[in-house]
Amino acid sequence: MSGVSLPEYKFVVRWTVQDVVNWLQESGFVECSRIFRDAGIDGNKFVNLTENELSRINCPQKFRKEIIYRIDSIPDKPERDRLNRPFPAKQTPAR
């Protein structure tokens, strides 16, 4: 999928919800734009999205890996943000 490259991390992290929606539309993820708007995904949330979070907001599965790839390819993204993705909550056995 082609589209608009993401700018440097320091700019993306400050995006508004509308900036995220504009990028999605310009990058061929039109089907996702309303979903992201309804979920209130601004730049700070966007740069830290995981596939699980995309699933939770009902982002179509066919777009999830590409969106995560694009996020992980953001220029100058701090390594801690690349690796510090939250893991699903551990299930504790019932007693």
Domain segments of the chain as ranges: 9-77
CATH superfamily of domain region 9-77: Transcription Factor, Ets-1 (1.10.150.50)
- Are 57 and 36 contacting, i.e. CB atoms less than 8 angstroms apart? yes
- Cβ partners under 8 Å of residue 51, min gap 6: 64, 65, 68
pLDDT digits (tens, 9 = 90+) for 28-74: 999 999 999 999 999 999 999 999 999 999 999 999 999 999 999 99
pLDDT over 90 at 79, yes or no: no
At residue 89, the pLDDT reads: 46
